[in-house]
Every structure is written in C-alpha cells, then in structure tokens.
C-alpha cells in the first residue's frame, strides 16, 4: 500500500559515479537532497576496470575537481598506481590515469555521501515517476513509498532492465549480480520519453596466484605522482605494479572457431555496443590482420587476489573464455574468479535533453550518465555534477550552469550528446574537442575554478589559493618574456647537449623556451632570477610561452565561435514562419529546439544556407 514518505528539493536515482556527483553537488549547494540506490553496497561501484582517468578521461576528472566535484579527491585517496599517459606527445593530450583500490574507492565515496549535510542516502528501487502538468512531483519506490521532490535526476547506469549474457546463457541482472531496475523504463515510456537499447561488457577476473608474471612485461607507476585534485599539491604512496601481455594466433583461432556461440554474433544481443571498447571477439573479427592484441593485467586492490584482465572483454561461453585466456603468456594456468559478460540495458535518446541535462518536455526531470547513452565512469561523473548543480539551481530559481565547447571537455561531452545524439555508447576522446590546446588537463582550474566559486562549490580559501597561483604564473610569464640572456659557455653547453643551435648574441629567454629541443625547466641553470614556483606553476609557464602562437590562434577561433553561441534563438520560435529553410532543417530545428545559432549549426542535416536564412529571420524579430 502506498504511503507518503517525505519531501525533498532534489532526488537522485542511482548511486554510481553520476549519482554520487549529482547528489553531492545538489546538497552542497543547499538543496535538501535524497540519493536512492538499489543496493547500498554498490555505491560508486566499478563493475568494469577499477581505474579513473586515461586519455581524455583524465581531462574530465580534473575539470570535475576544478568545479568542486568529488571524483578527483576520491581517487587521490584510494589509488594504488598512478601514471601520466601520452607524455611523448604534446601537452594537449597528456592524460592522468590511476588504478584504484576498488573497495576502498567505494567505501570512501559511500562515507563521503553519508557525512554530507543536506543529504540522505536510502536503499530502495524507484519504479515510477509522478508527473503533473509536465512537471515532476514525486517518485515511488517498489514498496509503495512516495517521495516528493521539486527536481529529480536519473542516474541509472546500466541497471534499467539490465540483462547479462554469457554465451548461450542470459538472465536479468544489473552489473556484478546486483538486482536490475525492472520497472522504471515503463514509467519513462508512459511519459513519452524515447528509450533505446545499448550494451557494454567486461572481462573476466582471475586469481593472482594462478598467474605467471615472469612471462609478462611489468608496468610501474610514475616515480613522481601527479594528483587529480588541485587541492592536493603532492602525494607519496607505495604503488602496485600492473603487467602487459598479448593474445596470439592460438587465442584468435579459438575465438573464430566459437563465434557461433557468441550472443553478439548469434543475434541474442540487440543492443548497440561501444565502438571504442570492443569485445575481444569483435576485435579479432574487425582487425583480422592483427597478429596480437594487448592484454593488461591489473589488480583490483591491495587486499584481494583478484586481477582484472583488460582487453579481454567477452560474451562467449565460460568454457571458451577459459580456453582462450589460457593461450596467453602468463595465463596458461589461470583460474577465473568471475567470468567475462556482456550487459544490455535501456537508455534514452539524449537529444530529448536541454544543455542543462533537463528533459525538454518535463520540467525538473534531469538525466545523467550512461542513461544518456554515454560510457565510462568519468563521462558519467561529469554529467552527474552538471545535472546536480542544475537541479539545485532550478529549485532555487537560478539560471542553469551551461559549459560550452570552448569552456571544457565537459561542455564538448554534453553538447555532443544533446545536439548530435549518439547511436552507440559515447566515450570522450581528445579528438572530439576542437580547442584541445586550450582545454588541457593542467589548466582545468584556470578555466573552471572561477565558475565553481561563483556557483558555490569552491570555498573562498581554495579560490584565494587559486588566484595566488594565477598571479605567480602571469608574473613569471611576463618576466621570462622581458629577460635577455647573454651568450655564455654555460648556455651554449646546454644548447649543445640538447642538439640545438648555439647563440653568439643576446637573446630573449622566451625565445629559447620556444625552441623545440628546450623548455623552461631545462634553462633553469642559466636563469639567475628565476623565482621558486611549484611544479604546476612552472608547467603552466612553460606551456603558455612555448605554445603562445597556437594558443593565440585558438583564442581567435573561440572568439568567432562565441559570436554564434551568443546569438540566442527565442524559445517560442515557430520554424514554420521561417521562409526559405529546407523542410528537413525545419523539422530538425523544431525537434531539437536549439538555444543558439551555434548549437543549431551543429545539428546533423542543418546546412550553412539554413543558418544564414535563420540569422536573417532573427534580425526581423
């Protein structure tokens, strides 16, 4: 029997990485918040690889931290190995990645939620949305408890009608054997929300004692650890090694011989999978010419013998999995603790959302994470943070926080999902960001901390430290640009050592820094006036000087971009009155309801000619 259970400003459904950020941000902004999870023990779970960051994903985590989110702080407390990736390339693609102690990460995040003021955490399955006059009013649990709210954020991950596939066997389940959310999709569809079916997968876990690591390449962490959170200046910790091995012709032979037993190729799985994180059987079929594929062997934590076998995601039967895993060097005698599986789940068409992540046709109803068609813990957390902020601001009568494509990777992520949509689980990549030289992970605080402070998630103390850091960087850049360096044997010795042309006349220190072979740190011995800077400050000085020309060019591009983004389109515009726009464009503009000319121009099927007609029409209003 139904009963009235309570009233909240914001309710968050689902306590994965999106739900944790959404609940914390809403509560920290003063909204009375409740977070619902199907199982308290699965809060902040990592059902796939227990790591945070990686290529482009590390950017998202640092942006989350710069805005006042929790993921960066939590992984800094609980990582067991940290590495900076892509350091052989330019700073735009440097990406921090940390292997987590899976259980510690969960426990730390759960406790952070439990201690948060304005936040209640409850175990319950939400089965129904209660909407009145296109405005969310309440949600109902499976046992009939009705909780009223002014805003609701759905962060259901892969739980909506979740279904596990292992070879010929399939059954209803969420990840890691937790109950799925069986009834909420029906409630969404009754409200006219368009849903679709996606799938993802995860590799087997193997007992460490059954692995021969002597046949694998060791992968150590960085000797100097770079924290994810800008609040942590340095971290010293004993790190745990990971390992690298490879598949071979025998592995691929077993996979090809058993493709008929894969639900992926047999037609049982109807959901679309992620192109950029394919199963091993998919890799063997799609890249038939490749003789081997990388396999990373990574610990799940310090107090467990389970190892994660990255690169071997599969939905083949368990007997086939065991056979193919045992063809890999070092895994010849491996014993499974958990088999690999694929999981199919419901998500929504993300083009039904505004850039605030609020549904266009139901006020107060927000969506974040894999339910929007994305993949990955970091993408989920980024959306959760923005949805939580905007749910709280909605309740408080404030304008939403919208990050555009020139502000952050988070802006690129949300704009891609909302404006372009996705036909497969979306993952962030550096190539998706047009302005990636400006959207570096190292300057995330410079770009976003003022916004975090303005909305109320960054404390005054942290903000003042940030301003001090920016002052140090600006002063040093100015000093380096005006400093003349006289030719000397000491200088030329450095130049010879780094295989660059010696100098015979005075030169600007900045011009030396800009040389490909040199940098700010290398020139420290001949720079007598150099002040004491932190590692992060010195890195910023180096990048800002070294890439000054490219940065200036991107700033000019952003200025042009902003002109289109700032040209707003009235909410009530009737595109039937806009003469000269093609029928396809009129239909898409009516469906998507873009808020600016810039957003309209990124909708698939809208041509430059359509945009010109729309601009002329707007001038008549």
Q: What is the pLDDT of residues 190-230, one digit of tens each?
A: 999 999 999 999 999 999 999 999 999 999 999 999 999 99
Rounded to an integer, the average pLDDT of 340-349 is 96
Secondary structure letter of residue 91 according to DSSP: G
**Three-state SS letters, 160-176:** ECCEEEECCEEEECCHH
Q: Report pLDDT for 616.
A: 87
Number of residues assigned to the chain:
621
Residue whose structure tokens are 């201690």: 115
Work out the pLDDT band at 620, boundaries 50, 70, 90: confident
- The answer to whether the CB of 308 falls within 8 A of the CB of 203 is yes
Vertex 603 angle, CA 599 and 604, to 5°: 160
Is there a shared CATH topology between the 3-53+69-81+97-201+345-403 domain and the 567-619 domain?
no
Evaluate if residue 592 carries a pLDDT over 70. Answer: yes
Backbone angles phi, psi at 598, to 5 degrees: -60, -50
- Is 205-343 CATH 3.40.50.300? no
The dihedral over CA atoms of 486, 487, 489, 490, expressed in degrees to the nearest 10, equals 50
Find all residues with CB under 8 Å of 612, minimum gap 6, and list them.
none
292-308 average pLDDT score: 97
Among 537, 487, 536, smallest CA distance to 512 is for 487
pLDDT at residue 234 in the model: 86
- Say if residue 388's pLDDT is above 90: yes
Beta partners for residue 181, in sequence order: 160
Instruction: Output the six-digit token pair for 507.
Output: 């030169």
State the pLDDT at residue 269. 72
Task: Mention the CATH class of domain 567-619.
Answer: mainly alpha
pLDDT at 264 over 80: no
CATH class of 3-53+69-81+97-201+345-403: alpha beta
Query: Which pLDDT score is estimated for 276?
Result: 63
Residue 461: exposure state from Cβ atoms within 10 A (0-12, 13-18, ≥19) = exposed
Query: For residue 372, is pLDDT > 70?
Result: yes
> Does 78 score more than 70 pLDDT?
yes
Q: Is residue 265 pLDDT above 80, yes or no?
A: no
Cα within 13 Å of Cα(129), Cβ side? 29
Mean pLDDT of 120-147: 97
305-328 pLDDT tens trace: 999 999 999 999 999 999 999 999
Can you tell me the distance from the alpha carbon of 306 to that of 202, in angstroms, rounded to the nearest whole number?
14
Q: What is the pLDDT of residues 412-456, one digit of tens each?
A: 999 999 999 999 999 999 999 999 999 999 999 999 999 999 999
Judge contact between 265 and 281, C-beta under 8 A: yes
DSSP 438-458: TS-STTHHHHHHHHHHHHT-S
CATH (one of 1.10.10.10, 1.10.10.1800, 3.40.50.720, 1.10.150.240) for 461-552: 1.10.10.1800
Average predicted confidence (pLDDT) for the chain = 94
Strand 51-53 versus strand 95-100 pairing type: antiparallel
Residue 267 predicted with pLDDT over 80: no
Domain regions of the chain by residue span: 3-53+69-81+97-201+345-403, 205-343, 461-552, 567-619
Which of 334, 251, 333 has the alpha carbon at shortest distance from 292? 251
DSSP secondary-structure letter at 56?
T
Give residues with Cβ within 8 angstroms of 96, minimum separation 6. 53, 58, 61, 62, 82, 83, 84, 85, 226, 228, 441
Does the pLDDT of residue 394 top 90, yes or no?
Answer: yes
- Please give the pLDDT value at position 247: 97
pLDDT, one tens digit per residue, over 8-41 is 999 999 999 999 999 999 999 999 999 999 999 9
Q: How confident is the model at residue 395 (pLDDT cuts 50, 70, 90)?
A: very high
At residue 87, the pLDDT reads: 87
Contact 373, 53 (CB under 8 A): no
Q: By C-alpha distance, which of 377, 442, 379 is closest to 409?
A: 379
| More confident of the two residues 579 and 395 | 395
Mean pLDDT of 135-159: 97
pLDDT tens for 455-496 read 999 999 999 999 999 999 999 999 999 999 999 999 999 999
Taking the alpha carbons of 367, 370, 374, 376 in that order, is the dihedral positive or negative?
positive
């Amino acid at each position: 029997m139904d009963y009235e259970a309570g009233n909240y400003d914001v309710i968050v459904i689902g306590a994965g990485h999106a739900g944790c950020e959404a609940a914390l941000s809403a509560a920290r902004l003063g909204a009375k918040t409740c977070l619902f999870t199907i199982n308290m023990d699965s809060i902040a779970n990592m059902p796939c690889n227990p790591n945070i960051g990686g290529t482009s994903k590390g950017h998202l985590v640092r942006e989350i931290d710069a805005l006042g989110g929790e993921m960066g702080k939590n992984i800094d407390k609980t990582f067991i190995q940290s590495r900076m990736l892509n350091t052989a390339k330019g700073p735009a693609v440097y990406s921090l990645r940390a292997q987590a102690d899976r259980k510690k990460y969960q426990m730390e995040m759960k406790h952070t939620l439990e201690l948060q003021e304005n936040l209640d955490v409850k175990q319950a399955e939400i089965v129904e949305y209660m909407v009145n006059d296109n405005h969310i009013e309440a949600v109902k649990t499976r046992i009939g408890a009705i909780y009223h709210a002014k805003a609701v954020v759905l962060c259901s991950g892969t739980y909506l009608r979740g279904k596990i596939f292992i070879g010929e066997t399939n059954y209803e389940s969420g990840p890691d054997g937790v109950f799925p959310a069986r009834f909420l999709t029906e409630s969404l569809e009754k409200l006219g929300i368009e849903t679709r079916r996606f799938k993802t997968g995860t590799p087997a876990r193997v007992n460490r004692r059954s692995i021969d690591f002597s046949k694998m390449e060791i992968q150590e962490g960085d000797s100097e650890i770079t924290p994810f959170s800008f609040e942590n200046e340095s971290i010293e910790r004993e790190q745990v090694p990971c390992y690298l091995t490879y598949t071979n012709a025998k592995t691929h032979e077993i996979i090809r011989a058993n493709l008929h037993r894969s639900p992926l190729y047999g037609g049982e799985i109807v959901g679309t999978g992620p192109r950029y994180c394919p199963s091993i059987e998919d890799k063997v079929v799609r890249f038939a010419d490749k003789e081997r594929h990388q396999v990373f062997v990574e610990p799940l934590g310090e107090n467990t013998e389970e190892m994660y076998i990255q690169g071997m995601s599969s939905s083949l039967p368990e007997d086939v999995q065991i056979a193919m895993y045992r063809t890999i060097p070092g895994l010849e005698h491996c014993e499974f603790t958990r088999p690999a599986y694929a999981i199919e789940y419901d998500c929504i068409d993300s083009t039904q959302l505004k850039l605030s992540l609020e549904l266009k046709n139901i006020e107060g109803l927000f969506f974040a994470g894999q339910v929007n068609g994305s993949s990955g813990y970091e993408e989920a957390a980024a959306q959760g943070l923005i949805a939580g902020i905007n749910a709280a601001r909605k309740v408080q009568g404030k304008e939403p926080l919208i990050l555009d494509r020139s502000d952050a990777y988070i802006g690129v992520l949300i704009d891609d999902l909302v404006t372009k949509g996705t036909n497969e689980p979306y993952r962030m990549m550096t190539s998706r960001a047009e302005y990636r030289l400006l959207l570096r992970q190292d300057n995330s605080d410079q770009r976003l901390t003022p916004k975090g402070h303005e909305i109320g998630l960054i404390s005054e103390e942290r903000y003042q430290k940030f301003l001090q850091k920016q002052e140090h960087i600006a002063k040093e850049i100015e000093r380096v640009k005006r400093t003349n360096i006289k030719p000397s044997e000491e200088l030329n010795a450095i130049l010879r050592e780094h295989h660059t042309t010696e100098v015979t006349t005075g030169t600007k220190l900045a011009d030396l820094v800009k040389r490909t072979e040199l940098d700010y740190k290398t020139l420290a011995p001949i720079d007598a006036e150099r002040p004491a800077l932190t590692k992060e400050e010195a890195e910023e000085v180096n990048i800002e000087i070294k890439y000054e020309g490219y940065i200036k060019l991107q700033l000019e591009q952003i200025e042009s971009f902003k002109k289109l983004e700032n040209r707003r389109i009235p909410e009530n515009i009737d595109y039937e009155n806009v003469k000269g726009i093609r029928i396809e464009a009129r239909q898409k503009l009516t469906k998507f309801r873009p808020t600016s000319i810039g957003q309209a121009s990124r909708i698939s099927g809208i041509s430059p000619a359509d945009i010109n007609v729309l601009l002329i029409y707007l001038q008549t209003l």
